[in-house]
Protein backbone atom coordinates (compact mmCIF):
# COMPACT_ATOMS: atom_id res chain seq x y z
CA UNK A 1 0.00 0.00 0.00
CA UNK A 2 1.12 3.54 -0.72
CA UNK A 3 1.90 5.97 2.07
CA UNK A 4 -0.60 8.40 0.54
CA UNK A 5 -3.35 5.79 0.99
CA UNK A 6 -2.51 5.45 4.68
CA UNK A 7 -2.54 9.22 5.18
CA UNK A 8 -5.91 9.44 3.40
CA UNK A 9 -7.35 6.63 5.52
CA UNK A 10 -6.29 8.13 8.84
CA UNK A 11 -7.41 11.61 7.83
CA UNK A 12 -10.85 10.40 6.78
CA UNK A 13 -11.33 8.34 9.94
CA UNK A 14 -10.39 11.25 12.19
CA UNK A 15 -13.06 13.38 10.53
CA UNK A 16 -15.82 11.02 11.67
CA UNK A 17 -18.11 12.40 14.38
CA UNK A 18 -20.84 9.74 14.47
CA UNK A 19 -20.99 5.95 14.47
CA UNK A 20 -22.68 5.77 11.03
CA UNK A 21 -19.95 8.02 9.57
CA UNK A 22 -17.26 5.82 11.13
CA UNK A 23 -18.86 2.61 9.84
CA UNK A 24 -19.19 3.96 6.30
CA UNK A 25 -15.70 5.48 6.20
CA UNK A 26 -13.96 2.39 7.59
CA UNK A 27 -15.72 0.23 5.00
CA UNK A 28 -14.23 2.43 2.26
CA UNK A 29 -10.82 2.23 3.92
CA UNK A 30 -10.70 -1.57 4.15
CA UNK A 31 -11.81 -1.90 0.52
CA UNK A 32 -8.38 -0.52 -0.37
CA UNK A 33 -6.90 -3.59 1.34
CA UNK A 34 -9.21 -6.03 -0.43
CA UNK A 35 -11.58 -6.62 2.51
CA UNK A 36 -15.31 -6.06 2.53
CA UNK A 37 -16.60 -6.44 6.10
CA UNK A 38 -15.47 -5.61 9.62
CA UNK A 39 -16.43 -6.15 13.23
CA UNK A 40 -15.22 -3.97 16.10
CA UNK A 41 -15.97 -5.13 19.64
CA UNK A 42 -15.08 -3.33 22.84
CA UNK A 43 -15.41 -5.04 26.19
CA UNK A 44 -16.24 -3.82 29.66
CA UNK A 45 -13.44 -3.40 32.17
CA UNK A 46 -12.00 -6.71 33.39
CA UNK A 47 -14.66 -8.67 31.50
CA UNK A 48 -15.51 -10.18 28.13
CA UNK A 49 -18.99 -8.68 28.28
CA UNK A 50 -19.53 -6.55 25.17
CA UNK A 51 -19.76 -2.82 25.87
CA UNK A 52 -19.79 -1.54 22.28
CA UNK A 53 -19.96 -3.24 18.91
CA UNK A 54 -19.77 -1.65 15.46
CA UNK A 55 -19.87 -4.00 12.50
CA UNK A 56 -20.97 -4.60 8.93
CA UNK A 57 -21.41 -8.37 9.21
CA UNK A 58 -24.99 -9.31 8.32
CA UNK A 59 -27.64 -9.61 11.00
CA UNK A 60 -28.31 -13.13 9.70
CA UNK A 61 -24.73 -14.17 10.49
CA UNK A 62 -24.91 -12.50 13.89
CA UNK A 63 -28.01 -14.54 14.76
CA UNK A 64 -26.39 -17.80 13.61
CA UNK A 65 -23.17 -16.92 15.41
CA UNK A 66 -24.83 -16.60 18.80
CA UNK A 67 -27.57 -19.19 18.37
CA UNK A 68 -25.02 -21.90 17.61
CA UNK A 69 -22.66 -20.77 20.34
CA UNK A 70 -19.86 -19.86 17.95
CA UNK A 71 -18.93 -16.98 20.26
CA UNK A 72 -17.76 -19.64 22.72
CA UNK A 73 -15.44 -21.46 20.31
CA UNK A 74 -14.49 -18.87 17.67
CA UNK A 75 -10.74 -19.59 17.21
CA UNK A 76 -10.06 -16.10 15.85
CA UNK A 77 -11.62 -14.58 18.95
CA UNK A 78 -9.57 -16.87 21.19
CA UNK A 79 -6.36 -16.07 19.30
CA UNK A 80 -7.01 -12.34 19.68
CA UNK A 81 -6.80 -12.71 23.47
CA UNK A 82 -3.50 -14.57 23.19
CA UNK A 83 -1.74 -12.18 20.82
CA UNK A 84 -0.62 -8.58 21.04
CA UNK A 85 -0.29 -7.83 17.35
CA UNK A 86 -2.27 -8.03 14.11
CA UNK A 87 -2.53 -11.56 12.72
CA UNK A 88 -3.86 -13.18 9.56
CA UNK A 89 -6.33 -16.07 9.61
CA UNK A 90 -8.07 -18.09 6.91
CA UNK A 91 -10.46 -20.99 6.49
CA UNK A 92 -7.68 -22.73 4.53
CA UNK A 93 -5.29 -22.71 7.49
CA UNK A 94 -5.48 -25.93 9.55
CA UNK A 95 -4.12 -24.19 12.64
CA UNK A 96 -7.38 -22.21 12.74
CA UNK A 97 -9.90 -24.63 11.27
CA UNK A 98 -8.95 -27.89 12.99
CA UNK A 99 -11.97 -28.99 14.98
CA UNK A 100 -13.79 -25.82 13.95
CA UNK A 101 -14.12 -26.50 10.22
CA UNK A 102 -17.92 -26.37 10.42
CA UNK A 103 -17.71 -22.90 11.91
CA UNK A 104 -15.43 -21.65 9.12
CA UNK A 105 -17.54 -23.28 6.41
CA UNK A 106 -20.63 -21.54 7.70
CA UNK A 107 -18.83 -18.22 8.09
CA UNK A 108 -17.66 -18.50 4.47
CA UNK A 109 -21.27 -18.76 3.35
CA UNK A 110 -21.76 -15.28 4.81
CA UNK A 111 -18.74 -13.82 3.01
CA UNK A 112 -16.22 -14.35 5.81
CA UNK A 113 -13.38 -16.54 4.51
CA UNK A 114 -10.20 -14.88 5.73
CA UNK A 115 -9.12 -11.71 7.43
CA UNK A 116 -6.91 -9.69 9.72
CA UNK A 117 -7.58 -9.29 13.42
CA UNK A 118 -5.99 -6.64 15.63
CA UNK A 119 -6.04 -6.85 19.44
CA UNK A 120 -6.25 -3.21 20.44
CA UNK A 121 -4.50 -1.47 23.29
CA UNK A 122 -6.24 -1.68 26.64
CA UNK A 123 -6.66 0.92 29.33
CA UNK A 124 -8.77 1.14 32.45
CA UNK A 125 -11.92 1.59 30.42
CA UNK A 126 -11.46 -0.21 27.13
CA UNK A 127 -10.25 -3.43 25.61
CA UNK A 128 -11.19 -4.08 22.01
CA UNK A 129 -10.71 -6.26 18.95
CA UNK A 130 -10.98 -5.27 15.29
CA UNK A 131 -11.50 -7.90 12.58
CA UNK A 132 -11.63 -7.12 8.87
CA UNK A 133 -12.77 -9.94 6.60
CA UNK A 134 -12.93 -10.92 2.95
CA UNK A 135 -15.06 -13.39 1.02
CA UNK A 136 -13.47 -16.38 -0.71
CA UNK A 137 -12.03 -15.71 -4.17
CA UNK A 138 -9.80 -17.55 -6.62
CA UNK A 139 -6.94 -15.32 -5.52
CA UNK A 140 -7.22 -15.86 -1.77
CA UNK A 141 -8.59 -19.41 -1.46
CA UNK A 142 -5.13 -20.79 -0.59
CA UNK A 143 -3.63 -17.65 0.92
CA UNK A 144 -1.87 -18.24 4.24
CA UNK A 145 -0.04 -14.97 4.82
CA UNK A 146 0.00 -11.32 3.79
CA UNK A 147 2.83 -8.85 3.16
CA UNK A 148 4.13 -7.07 6.25
CA UNK A 149 3.11 -3.73 4.74
CA UNK A 150 -0.55 -4.68 4.61
CA UNK A 151 -0.40 -6.03 8.16
CA UNK A 152 1.08 -2.75 9.37
CA UNK A 153 -1.51 -0.74 7.43
CA UNK A 154 -4.33 -2.77 9.01
CA UNK A 155 -2.91 -2.22 12.48
CA UNK A 156 -2.70 1.56 12.02
CA UNK A 157 -6.24 1.97 10.69
CA UNK A 158 -7.64 -0.36 13.36
CA UNK A 159 -6.00 1.62 16.14
CA UNK A 160 -7.20 4.85 14.55
CA UNK A 161 -10.76 3.47 14.37
CA UNK A 162 -10.52 2.48 18.05
CA UNK A 163 -9.47 5.97 19.16
CA UNK A 164 -12.16 7.68 17.08
CA UNK A 165 -14.79 5.26 18.42
CA UNK A 166 -13.71 6.03 22.00
CA UNK A 167 -13.98 9.76 21.29
CA UNK A 168 -17.45 9.36 19.76
CA UNK A 169 -18.85 7.33 22.62
CA UNK A 170 -17.17 9.52 25.24
CA UNK A 171 -18.77 12.56 23.60
CA UNK A 172 -22.16 10.87 23.71
CA UNK A 173 -21.74 10.30 27.44
CA UNK A 174 -20.52 13.80 28.35
CA UNK A 175 -22.91 15.65 30.63
CA UNK A 176 -22.52 18.97 32.41
CA UNK A 177 -23.87 19.46 35.91
CA UNK A 178 -26.41 22.25 36.37
CA UNK A 179 -23.90 24.73 37.80
CA UNK A 180 -21.27 23.87 35.17
CA UNK A 181 -23.81 24.43 32.41
CA UNK A 182 -24.90 27.70 33.99
CA UNK A 183 -21.34 29.01 34.28
CA UNK A 184 -20.34 27.96 30.75
CA UNK A 185 -23.47 29.53 29.32
CA UNK A 186 -22.60 32.81 31.01
CA UNK A 187 -19.02 32.51 29.75
CA UNK A 188 -20.41 32.07 26.23
CA UNK A 189 -21.93 35.57 26.63
CA UNK A 190 -18.42 36.93 27.16
CA UNK A 191 -18.70 37.28 30.93
CA UNK A 192 -15.49 37.07 32.98
CA UNK A 193 -15.07 34.92 36.09
CA UNK A 194 -15.49 38.02 38.26
CA UNK A 195 -18.74 38.96 36.50
CA UNK A 196 -20.09 35.40 36.71
CA UNK A 197 -19.18 35.23 40.40
CA UNK A 198 -21.01 38.49 41.06
CA UNK A 199 -24.09 37.34 39.17
CA UNK A 200 -24.24 34.05 41.06
CA UNK A 201 -23.13 35.48 44.42
CA UNK A 202 -20.15 33.10 44.50
CA UNK A 203 -16.43 33.62 44.89
CA UNK A 204 -14.26 34.12 41.83
CA UNK A 205 -12.07 31.21 42.98
CA UNK A 206 -15.14 28.95 42.99
CA UNK A 207 -16.04 29.98 39.44
CA UNK A 208 -12.49 29.37 38.22
CA UNK A 209 -12.54 25.94 39.83
CA UNK A 210 -15.78 25.11 38.03
CA UNK A 211 -14.35 26.27 34.72
CA UNK A 212 -11.23 24.15 35.21
CA UNK A 213 -13.49 21.11 35.72
CA UNK A 214 -15.43 21.99 32.58
CA UNK A 215 -12.26 22.25 30.48
CA UNK A 216 -11.12 18.85 31.74
CA UNK A 217 -14.49 17.22 31.07
CA UNK A 218 -14.69 18.59 27.52
CA UNK A 219 -11.02 17.96 26.75
CA UNK A 220 -10.34 21.59 25.84
CA UNK A 221 -7.65 24.12 26.82
CA UNK A 222 -9.57 27.41 26.84
CA UNK A 223 -12.99 28.85 27.59
CA UNK A 224 -13.80 29.69 23.96
CA UNK A 225 -12.86 26.13 22.94
CA UNK A 226 -15.01 24.72 25.74
CA UNK A 227 -17.96 26.82 24.61
CA UNK A 228 -17.57 25.66 21.01
CA UNK A 229 -17.24 22.01 22.09
CA UNK A 230 -20.28 22.23 24.36
CA UNK A 231 -22.30 23.78 21.54
CA UNK A 232 -21.21 21.01 19.17
CA UNK A 233 -22.39 18.41 21.70
CA UNK A 234 -25.67 20.22 22.33
CA UNK A 235 -24.86 20.79 25.99
CA UNK A 236 -25.83 24.47 26.09
CA UNK A 237 -29.33 25.91 25.71
CA distance 235 to 93: 51
Kindly report, residue by residue over 57-77, the tens digit of the pLDDT: 998 999 999 999 998 899 999
- In this structure, the answer to whether residues 58 and 148 fall within a common structural domain is yes
- In this structure, the answer to whether residues 140 and 193 fall within a common structural domain is no
Q: Which residues contact 235 (CB under 8 A, 6 or more apart)?
A: 174, 175, 176, 181, 184
Kindly report, residue by residue over 167-216, the tens digit of the pLDDT: 887 766 678 889 999 999 999 999 999 999 999 999 999 999 999 888 87
State which residues form the domain around 9: 3-172
- In this structure, the answer to whether residues 41 and 142 fall within a common structural domain is yes
Q: Does any domain span residue 237?
A: no
Indicate the SS3 state at residue 50: strand
Q: What is the pTM of this model?
A: 0.73
- In this structure, the answer to whether residues 197 and 168 fall within a common structural domain is no
- In this structure, the answer to whether residues 37 and 138 fall within a common structural domain is yes
Kindly report, residue by residue over 78-106, the tens digit of the pLDDT: 899 888 899 999 999 998 888 899 999 99
Closest CA to 115 of 138, 86, 78, 84: 86
CATH classification of the domain holding 198: 1.10.10.10
- In this structure, the answer to whether residues 154 and 189 fall within a common structural domain is no
Q: How many domains does the chain have?
A: 2
Measure Cα distances from 32 to 26, 183, 232 in Å: 10, 47, 32
- In this structure, the answer to whether residues 78 and 190 fall within a common structural domain is no
Q: How many other CB atoms are there within 10 angstroms of residue 118's CB atom?
A: 26
Q: How many other CB atoms are there within 10 angstroms of residue 9's CB atom?
A: 23
- In this structure, the answer to whether residues 200 and 129 fall within a common structural domain is no
Amino acid sequence: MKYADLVWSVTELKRCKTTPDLRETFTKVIHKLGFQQFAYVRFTKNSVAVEVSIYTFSEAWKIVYFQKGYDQIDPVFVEAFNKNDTFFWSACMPEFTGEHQVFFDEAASYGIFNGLTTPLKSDAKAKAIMTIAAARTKENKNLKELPAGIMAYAKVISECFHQVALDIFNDQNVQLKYRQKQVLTMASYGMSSREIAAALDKSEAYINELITGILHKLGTQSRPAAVRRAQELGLLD
